[in-house]
Amino acid sequence: MITKKHILLALALWLGLGLGAVAYAGSWSKNQSLGGFNKVHIYTPDSQSNIGDGRGLLLVLHGCTQAIDAYLSANLEDAAEEFGLVIAVPDAMNKAGFSCWSYWSGSKSRSSGDYKNLINLAQALVADTSRHIDANQVYIAGLSSGASFANTTACLAPDVFAGMGISAGPSIGTSSSGALGPCESADVASRCSQYAGSYQSSLGSQIASIAQGDSDSTVNLCYNSQNAEGMAALYGVSPLPGSTLISEGSGHSAEQSLWQDGRVSMLWFNNVDHAWSGGEGASGSYINGASINYARYLGRYFLENNKRVSRNLGPVLGNVALAVNGDRILVTGKAVDAEGSVAAVSARFVASNGSEQSASATAAADGSFSLQSPALANDLYQVAVVATDDAGMDGNLYQGSARVGPAPPASAPVLSNLNVAVSGQCALVTGTVVDVNEDLSAVTLAFAGATQNADISASQFSGQRCNLPGGSNSVTVTATDAGGLSTSQVLDFEIDAGQSATLDGHISAGRLDYTNYANCYLEYGTASFTLREVTSGEQCRWQDDDASCLGPVQACSGSSATPPDEGGGDCQTFTTNNYSQKVAGRAYSTGNPLAPDYFATGSDQPMAGSTWGINTLHSDDGQSWYLGSCEQ
């Protein structure tokens, strides 16, 4: 039967009942406190999983020294939207070593530390009905220490986690020294079985993906095969012969080996070092874009091999046709169910004001069906049809429209729910378009210097343009019908194009200092990269997109103190590093002696760049100094 879920997901698309800007993209909820963690980034997609009931859930655990913000630029959203996965990235509470997940120490128990927190996080997200997560599609993955911790957690709670993704992780039960030194031998199967305890029966339906970069020089490469073979031994499956090359575009590939029934897969990411493989365009601390998108791989692997969900897809509708007979709509077609039989076919008829009526019928032995609506008032009706099998599973949803009564006078399409979502130098335009005459021809988006057609799905449309110039921008949205009638609206938005330079260039310009030099250099070396200014309290700081390379908190660009009017005098200007300004008495410093904060003498204006930052100071009296040059 057609449920409320079908109506919300399908008919609202036609009628524009408030889906608006989120109809084509999900969103991040950052820094959430949940499940015992103080900080969790959560991405909830608009899509749902093609198996089971609702969305899947993937927990992704960071590596040592790696901030969870790095995963905001790791292309996790692509996997989330394509496979209907809610993705949660928690920041470990009980860190050890270099901000690692403490897989080598502490009690390995469902009620201990971050093991308990991860189980609680998964269960809390599943219990959140607004996310509609299928408890049979809960998975956990991680990098490095996060991978080992994820593997241990999946073994402790195989009833909770249907699958795992282990990337560059030392084997469970090994020591911290084993991560960076020679390979430690480990009986993965025995340890995982021991951790599972009374939950061992759930291991019989669990699956595991094991992966590592083939250029990893941090974690010994032996662990990749040791982990895969260990999980295969635990599951009791044998390897399949040969391997397969998986490619995502030119130069982005991985070698895949599989075990029986898809229970275990092993990947070697080509040209990837010790990092999470994010696919083309991925960036950030310990995020590598040279190979495939591992999150997308996991989405597909879990979708195809999950052992806990029903694979019953419900009946398939075909040859559906709508015809109007007086004040009624006739629906005909065919419904076929491969796994069983068709129990019923039902339809909803929704008027332009949102009111609805329904009808149902049974299918003949050959699957053909015919049903008719109740008497309907003159209006344009959106029609949704679905067939249900003998197990209660609904099949694919047919969507169409039909008009009862005469057509209204010709009128222009109507635009509503318009929105511009800006990400970097890209702008995503979304909205709703309704044409009562049912002859909509196109929706165009006119940016400065370029016009493009939007993608239209039912009553929703979207279009994206990138590489837009910084500053004020606008887009004109125009909906046109077959008769040439049109409606237009102009949307204004701002693009922050950032500032691009090398590391030394950013330091010289005062956007960065030497405090965070190591992180910035490890990520970008001598290459040019872009920083954007973000607010921090009443001041600002410059940072890259994943906030792994960031500068000091300082006065925002364009802000300045106004020097007092001294009634004239000879203005002096000096441009040099902050230390030299201090030695000359034009500045002073406070704070950490290794990375002090500098301020202009007299005005107390903050000076960017710490000790070796370059700043210009000027003064009319030689006593009070101000940022910038003398007025001409």
Last residue of a domain, one of 495, 521, 540: 495
Residue type, 240: L
Termini Cα distance of the chain: 78
**What's the pLDDT at 134?**
97
Q: What is the mean pLDDT of residues 507-535?
A: 83
* Residues in contact with 546: Cβ distance below 8 Å, sequence separation at least 6, in sequence order: 67, 69, 70, 71, 72, 73, 283, 284, 285, 287
Cα–Cα nearest to 188, from 230, 150, 147: 230
Q: With a cut of 70, say whether residue 20 has pLDDT above it.
A: no
In a domain, 28, yes or no: no
- The reply to whether 301 and 344 lie within a common domain is no
**Residue 32 CA to its chain's centroid (Å):** 15
* Residues in contact with 191: Cβ distance below 8 Å, sequence separation at least 6, in sequence order: 155, 172, 173
Phi, psi of 422 (to 5 degrees): -100, 130
Q: What is the mean pLDDT of residues 360-373?
A: 96
3-state secondary structure (DSSP) of residue 18: coil
Cα–Cα nearest to 238, from 228, 251, 246, 247: 228
Segment 593-602, tens digit of pLDDT: 777 888 888 8
Report residue 488's pLDDT band, with 50, 70 and 90 as the boundaries. very high
**What's the pLDDT at 536?**
62
Contact 169, 150 (CB under 8 A): yes
Residue type, 597: D
The rounded radius of gyration (Å) of the Cα atoms in the chain is 30
| Residue 144, domain extent | 35-305
Report residue 26's pLDDT band, with 50, 70 and 90 as the boundaries. confident
Contact 274, 243 (CB under 8 A): no
Q: What is the mean pLDDT of residues 160-186?
A: 92
In a domain, 29, yes or no: no
**pTM, entire model:** 0.57
In a domain, 330, yes or no: yes
Q: With a cut of 90, say whether residue 537 has pLDDT above it.
A: no
Q: With a cut of 60, say whether residue 163 has pLDDT above it.
A: yes
**What's the pLDDT at 27?**
82
Q: Which of 202-211, 425-434, 486-495, 605-614 has the lowest mean pLDDT?
A: 605-614
- The reply to whether 440 and 514 lie within a common domain is no
Q: With a cut of 90, say whether residue 217 has pLDDT above it.
A: yes
The tokens describing 41, both together, are 């980034």
- The reply to whether 276 and 347 lie within a common domain is no
Q: What is the mean pLDDT of residues 154-163?
A: 98
**What's the pLDDT at 237?**
98
The tokens describing 214, both together, are 């083939």
In a domain, 10, yes or no: no
- The reply to whether 607 and 510 lie within a common domain is yes
**What's the pLDDT at 454?**
96
In a domain, 3, yes or no: no
Cα–Cα nearest to 625, from 593, 576, 585: 585
* Residues in contact with 371: Cβ distance below 8 Å, sequence separation at least 6, in sequence order: 330, 331, 345, 346, 347, 359, 360, 361
What are the beta bridge partners of residue 492?
Answer: 474
The residue written with tokens 């020097």 in the block is 563
- The reply to whether 454 and 430 lie within a common domain is yes
* Domain at 63, CATH number: 3.40.50.1820
Q: CA dist 522 to 194, 287, 315, Å?
A: 40, 12, 54
**What's the pLDDT at 250?**
85
Q: Which of 215-224, 292-301, 365-374, 617-626 has the lowest mean pLDDT?
A: 617-626
The tokens describing 78, both together, are 């692509």
Q: With a cut of 70, say whether residue 171 has pLDDT above it.
A: yes
* Domain at 333, CATH number: 2.60.40.10
Last residue of a domain, one of 305, 340, 361: 305
- The reply to whether 169 and 283 lie within a common domain is yes
Q: With a cut of 50, say whether residue 508 has pLDDT above it.
A: yes
- The reply to whether 509 and 456 lie within a common domain is no
In a domain, 585, yes or no: yes
Burial of 614 (0-12, 13-18, 19+ CB in 10 A): middle
Contact 275, 293 (CB under 8 A): no
Q: Dump the DSSP string for 478-543.
A: EEEETTS-EEEEEEEEEE---EEE-HHHHHHTTS--STTHHHHHHHHTTS-EEEEEEEETTEEEEE
Contact 394, 6 (CB under 8 A): yes
**What's the pLDDT at 551?**
85
**What's the pLDDT at 562?**
44
Q: What is the mean pLDDT of residues 349-366?
A: 93
What are the beta bridge partners of residue 472?
Answer: 494
Q: With a cut of 80, say whether residue 160 has pLDDT above it.
A: yes
For residues 134 and 159, what is the distance between their CA atoms, to the nearest angstrom? 13
What is the chain's mean pLDDT, rounded? 89
**What's the pLDDT at 631?**
77
Q: What is the mean pLDDT of residues 107-136?
A: 96
- The reply to whether 372 and 452 lie within a common domain is no
Q: With a cut of 90, say whether residue 259 has pLDDT above it.
A: yes
Domain count across the chain: 4
Q: With a cut of 80, say whether residue 566 has pLDDT above it.
A: no
Q: Where are the alpha helices (DSSP H) in 157-202?
A: 177-180, 188-196
For residues 307 and 226, what is the distance between their CA atoms, to the nearest angstrom? 23
- The reply to whether 490 and 507 lie within a common domain is no
Report residue 492's pLDDT band, with 50, 70 and 90 as the boundaries. very high
- The reply to whether 459 and 513 lie within a common domain is no
Q: What is the mean pLDDT of residues 184-196?
A: 97
* Domain at 445, CATH number: 2.60.40.2450
**What's the pLDDT at 114?**
97
Contact 367, 334 (CB under 8 A): yes
Q: With a cut of 70, say whether residue 4 has pLDDT above it.
A: no
In a domain, 2, yes or no: no
CA atoms within 13 A on the CB side of 510: 20
CA atoms within 13 A on the CB side of 75: 24
Q: With a cut of 60, say whether residue 3 has pLDDT above it.
A: no
The tokens describing 421, both together, are 């979502």
Helices 222-235 and 188-196 pack at an angle, to 10 degrees, of: 50
In a domain, 5, yes or no: no
- The reply to whether 297 and 323 lie within a common domain is no
- The reply to whether 246 and 353 lie within a common domain is no
Q: With a cut of 80, say whether residue 555 has pLDDT above it.
A: no
Burial of 362 (0-12, 13-18, 19+ CB in 10 A): exposed
Q: What is the mean pLDDT of residues 224-247?
A: 97
Cα–Cα nearest to 208, from 181, 226, 187: 226
Query: What percent of the chain clears pLDDT 90, i.e. is strictly above it?
Result: 62
For residues 443 and 490, what is the distance between their CA atoms, to the nearest angstrom? 13
**What's the pLDDT at 629?**
83
Report residue 578's pLDDT band, with 50, 70 and 90 as the boundaries. confident
Query: What percent of the chain clears pLDDT 70, i.e. is strictly above it?
Result: 93
Last residue of a domain, one of 454, 471, 495: 495
Most confident of 66-70, 503-507, 508-512: 66-70
**What's the pLDDT at 563?**
44
Q: Which of 17-31, 121-135, 457-471, 480-494 has the lowest mean pLDDT?
A: 17-31
**What's the pLDDT at 1?**
56
